[in-house]
Amino acid sequence: MSLIVQKYGGSSVADLERIRMVASRIRRYFLEGHSVVVVVSAMGKTTDALLAMAQELHPLPPEREVDMLLATGEQVSVALLSIALFAQGVPSVSLTGGQAGIITTDTHTKARILRVQVERILRYLREGKVVIVAGFQGITEDGEITTLGRGGSDTTACALAAALQAEVCEIYTDVEGVFTADPRIVPKARKILRISYDEMSEMASLGAKVLQLRAVDFARLYRVRVHVRSTFSENEGTWVEEVENMEDVKVRAITHNLDVVKVVLLGVPDKPGVAALVLRTLVDCAVSLDMIIQSEGREGKKDIAFVIPREDKGKVHKALESLQKMLPLEGVTFDEGVGKVSVVGAGVANDPRIAFRMFDTLARLGVNIDMISTSNLRISCLIPRDRVAESVSALHETFIEDSEVMLREGS
């Protein structure tokens, strides 16, 4: 029988009733004879609640302590799930990330998995137990508890599936799979049956929360087959795997991200080395950047603008304050009233008609595009935050719904 890894997200274990339901599903696989390793997130919105408490005490709490705090969320849910399995007569054992052998870097709140020591998990599996691992957390070589960034339980699951060479990594969540847009915003969004690692990676990096970006990277690197599906139904979900013949695919999905902030450095000296100095400052605080643009120089000065994740705003603010001591700036602004919409698909940026149709769709809505960025797999626009939902719907209509009509008419 095969070894499978199953990951249950926060909403799947939000209360005791749901934990019982999850335990029953695991029991079924166990009774079929599979070896089952389960990864669980914290219950419901626990992580948000813990973080809010920390931030009430201090707006920039020490990251080591944040990790200590957040890791408790997953520890609660693994223990409860193990007890629920015990109640259903299934032998199981719960483990923290550290106990499960997940060794990470020491970048608190955004640690990366360095390796997984699977001996202990394998021993429990040989003893006939279901192994339940706390998602989103690991331990450094020095025994410090770390977390893997929001949504990190997906990464725990894919890393374990890779290390254990599992047959499949099942990601159980509150939607039926990966859709052509967030189904909560676009009711007409359709489930994608198969998607390539590359496209999924792009969607994840552009805000489709359904899988964490690092999880997709692990899956791609170790060729883990990922099945994203619903905890609340038996339906087949989305397979993330190697997909051949992507050339004929155009727009695969529309994604959006509301958790972004636009930062502008005004009146930066227009001379060599300045952009590098700015970037250096941001890299040092482990911030991921997007859409970096520089304005034309004027009177020896220019502006530099970029987009950061909302959760990094406090850190970036602090880092730029110290930058201002080295570099004379006219000012720094943070704009939270923005959001990013993207069209994703293999080769979209190679076809100028796609960019035209994207800009045209936004223009018809009267939505002003603030910044644009492209890669081989996507075109993204920064627009006003309060126009994001309608823009996603309109882009979905242009690229997904209308192209289906064309296909049907053409066939």
SS (HEC) of 122-170: HHHHHCCCEEEEECCEEECCCCCEEECCCCCHHHHHHHHHHHCCCCEEE
Question: Within a 10 A sphere around the Cβ of 154, how many other Cβ atoms?
Answer: 31
SS (HEC) of 102-127: EEECCCCCCCCEEEECCHHHHHHHHC
* Rounded-to-integer distance, Cα 171 and Cα 168, Å: 10
Interface with ligand ASP, residue 150, by CB under 6 A: yes
Q: CA 309, 262, 184, 393: dihedral to nearest 10 degrees?
A: -140
Q: Which is nearer to ligand ADP, 23 or 118 (CB)?
A: 23
Q: Which is nearer to ligand ADP, 229 or 387 (CB)?
A: 229
Select the residue whose beta carbon is closest to ligand ADP and give its number.
Answer: 9
Q: Which is nearer to ligand ASP, 150 or 357 (CB)?
A: 150
Q: Which is nearer to ligand ASP, 263 or 287 (CB)?
A: 287
Interface with ligand ASP, residue 97, by CB under 6 A: no
Question: Within a 10 A sphere around the Cβ of 191, how many other Cβ atoms?
Answer: 18
Distance of closest approach, residue 48 Cβ to ligand ASP, in angstroms: 7
The item of ligand ADP, Mg ion, ligand ASP, none sharing an interface with residue 270, based on CB under 5 to 8 Å by kind, is: none
Select the residue whose beta carbon is closest to Mg ion and give its number.
Answer: 151
* Rounded-to-integer distance, Cα 67 and Cα 372, Å: 35
Q: Which of 135, 138, 207, 339 binds ligand ASP (CB under 6 A)?
A: 135
Residues that bind ligand ADP (CB under 6 A): 9-12, 41, 151, 173-175, 178-179, 181-184, 208-210, 253
- What residues does 7 pair with on adjacent strands? 39, 171
Distance of closest approach, residue 307 Cβ to ligand ASP, in angstroms: 21
Q: Which is nearer to ligand ASP, 154 or 303 (CB)?
A: 154
Q: Which is nearer to Mg ion, 288 or 374 (CB)?
A: 288
Q: Which is nearer to ligand ADP, 10 or 138 (CB)?
A: 10
Quick one: which segment of 152-160, 245-253, 324-332, 402-410 binds ligand ASP (CB under 6 A)? Answer: 152-160
SS3 (DSSP) at 294: strand
* Rounded-to-integer distance, Cα 79 and Cα 92, Å: 10
Distance of closest approach, residue 236 Cβ to ligand ASP, in angstroms: 23
The item of Mg ion, ligand ASP, ligand ADP, none sharing an interface with residue 90, based on CB under 5 to 8 Å by kind, is: none
Task: Spell out a b/e string for 4-21, using b for 16 or more CB atoms within 10 Å of the CB, else e.
Answer: bbbbbbbbbbbeeebbbb
Distance of closest approach, residue 136 Cβ to ligand ASP, in angstroms: 4
Distance of closest approach, residue 332 Cβ to ligand ADP, in angstroms: 31
* Rounded-to-integer distance, Cα 168 and Cα 223, Å: 10
Interface with ligand ASP, residue 73, by CB under 6 A: yes
Q: Are 302 and 272 in contact (CB under 8 A)?
A: no
Interface with ligand ASP, residue 136, by CB under 6 A: yes
Query: What is the chain's length?
Result: 411
Q: Which residues make up the interface to ligand ASP (CB under 6 A)?
A: 9-10, 41-42, 47, 73, 135-136, 150-154
